[in-house]
Chain A
Amino acid sequence: MSSVGFVMLCHTALDRAAEVARHWAERECPVVIHVDKRVSAKANAWLQSTLSDLPNIRFSKRHKCEWGTWSLVAASQTASEVMLTEFPSVRHVYLASGSCLPLRPVEELKEYLAARPQTDFIESVTTQDVEWTVGGLNAERFQFRFPFSWKRQRFLFDRYVEMQRRLGLKREMPEGLVPHLGSQWWCLTRQTLSAILQDPARKAHDAFFKLVWIPDESYYQTLARVYSRQMESRSLTLSKFDFQGKPHVFYDDHLHLLRRSDCFVARKAWPRANRLYDTFLRADQPGSQMAEPAPGKIDRVFAKALERRTRGRAGLYMHSRFPNLDWENGKTCARYSVFQGFRDLFEDFEPWLSRRLGARVHGNLFDPVRARFAGDTDVYAGCLSSAAKLRDYNPQHFLTSLIWNTRGERQVFQFSPRDNQKIGWFLSSDSNAQISVITGAWAVPLFLSNRDFGEIRKEAAMMQKQEVEFLNILRSVKTRADVRIWSLAEFVEEPMENLQSILDAMDGPSAPRLTEAPRMANLDGFGQFLQNLKNQGMQPFVIGDFSATTQGSQTKPGDNRPYLVKK
Chain B
Amino acid sequence: MKVIKRYGLRLRRKKYRLRAMRKRWQLLPVADRTDLIRPRDVLCFVTLRNERLRLKYFLEYYRDRGISHFFFVDNDSTDGTREFLAGQPDCSVWTTDASYKRSRFGMDWLNWLLMKYAHGHWSLVVDPDEFLVYPFCDSRPIPALTDWLDASSIKSFGTMLLDMYPKGSITAQPYHDGQNPFEIACWFDAGNYQIKRNWQFGNLWIQGGPRARLFFSERPERAPALNKIPLVKWNRSYAFASSTHMLLPRGLNHVYDEWGGEKTSGVLMHAKFLDTFTLKAEEELERRQHYANSHEYKAYHAGLNEDPNFWCKWSERYINWRQLEILGLMSKGNWA
Contacts and interface: CB of A to CB of B under 8 A. Distances in A.
B276 to A, nearest CB: 24
Given A246-B152, A389-B219, A383 B191 contact: yes
A320 B143 contact: no
Contact of A320 (B136, B210, B259, B330): B330
Contact of B314 (A251, A308, A316, A383): A383
A13 to B, nearest CB: 10
Contacts, number: 178
B147 A313 contact: no
A119 B229 CA distance: 52
A305 B335 contact: yes
Contacts of A321: 256-257, 260-263, 331
B75 interface: no
Contacts of B144: 251, 270, 272-273
B189 interface: yes
A394 interface: yes
Interface string B116-152: 0000000000000000000010011101100110011
B178 interface: no
A302 B332 CA distance: 11
Given A251-B144, A383-B191, A320 B256 contact: yes
B200 interface: no
Q: Which of A319, A322, A328, A401 has the most CB of B within 10 A?
A: A319
Using C-beta atoms within 8 Å of the partner chain, give the interface range for chain A: 35 or more
Contacts of A253: 136, 139-140
Interface string A377-401: 0111111110101100110011001
Contacts of A317: 195
Interface string B174-213: 0000000000000001111111110000001011001011
A320 B191 contact: no
B159, B216, B259, B265: most-surrounded residue (chain A CB, <10 A) = B259
A244 B152 contact: yes
Contacts of A153: none
B257 A308 contact: no
Interface string B307-335: 00000111100000000000011111111
Contacts of B147: 249, 270
A482 interface: no
B191 A308 contact: no
B255 interface: yes
Interface in A306-329: 306, 308-313, 316-324, 327-329
B195 A322 contact: yes
A305 B314 contact: no
Contact of B265 (A242, A313, A319, A323): A319
A513 interface: no
A40 to B, nearest CB: 13
A527 to B, nearest CB: 45
A321 B194 CA distance: 13
Contact of B328 (A313, A327, A393): A313
Contacts of B141: 272
Contacts of A387: 213, 217-218
Contacts of A272: 141, 143-144
A31 B139 CA distance: 33
Given A302-B336, A312-B261, A381-B191, A322 B197 contact: yes
Contacts of B217: 385, 387, 389-390
A56 B11 CA distance: 61
Given A270-B147, A319-B159, A385-B217, A390 B212 contact: yes
Contacts of A397: 193-195
Contacts of B263: 309, 320-321
Contacts of A348: none
For chain B, what secondary structure do more than half of its interface residues adopt (helix, strand, loop), or is it mixed?
loop
B83 interface: no
Nearest to A308: B262
Contacts of A466: none
Nearest to A385: B213
A243 interface: yes
Contacts of A398: 194
A252 B206 CA distance: 34
Given A252-B140, A308-B331, A309-B263, A320 B336 contact: no
A341 to B, nearest CB: 29
A94 interface: no
B257 A383 contact: no
Interface in A386-438: 387, 389-390, 393-394, 397-398, 401-402, 404-405
Q: Which of A273, A329, A379 has the most CB of B within 10 A?
A: A379
Contacts of A246: 151-152
B258 interface: yes
Contacts of B153: 244
Q: Which of B136, B190, B207, B227 has the most CB of A within 10 A?
A: B190
Contacts of B216: 390
Nearest to A251: B140
Given A248-B336, A320-B262, A327-B260, A379 B213 contact: yes
A231 to B, nearest CB: 30
A383 B315 contact: yes
Contacts of B204: 319, 322
A382 B220 contact: no
Contacts of A322: 195, 197, 204, 256-258
Interface centre among A393, A401, A402, A405 (most CB of B within 10 A): A393
B282 interface: no
A306 B334 contact: yes
B95 interface: no
A273 B210 CA distance: 39
Contacts of B256: 319-322
A321 B204 CA distance: 10
Nearest to B212: A390
B160 interface: yes
Contacts of B207: 393
Given A321-B263, A390-B217, A405 B191 contact: yes
Nearest to B264: A320
A312 B257 contact: yes
B158 interface: yes
A167 interface: no
A301 interface: yes
Residue from the set A243, A244, A323 with the largest chain B CB neighbour count within 10 Å:
A323
Given A246-B151, A246-B152, A306-B334, A319 B206 contact: yes
B195 to A, nearest CB: 6
Nearest to A298: B336
Nearest to A401: B191
B221 interface: yes
A193 to B, nearest CB: 30
A248 B152 CA distance: 10
Nearest to B191: A382
A272 B147 CA distance: 10
B73 to A, nearest CB: 27
Contacts of A170: none
A37 interface: no
B329 A318 contact: yes
A401 B192 CA distance: 6
A323 B151 CA distance: 25
A309 B336 CA distance: 11
Nearest to B315: A383
Nearest to A393: B220
Going nearest first, the 3 A-B pairs with the smallest beta carbon separation are A382-B191, A309-B334, A320-B265
Given A305-B336, A308-B333, 12 more contacts: A249-B151, A251-B139, A251-B144, A270-B140, A272-B141, A272-B143, A316-B328, A318-B193, A319-B160, A319-B195, A382-B189, A390-B216
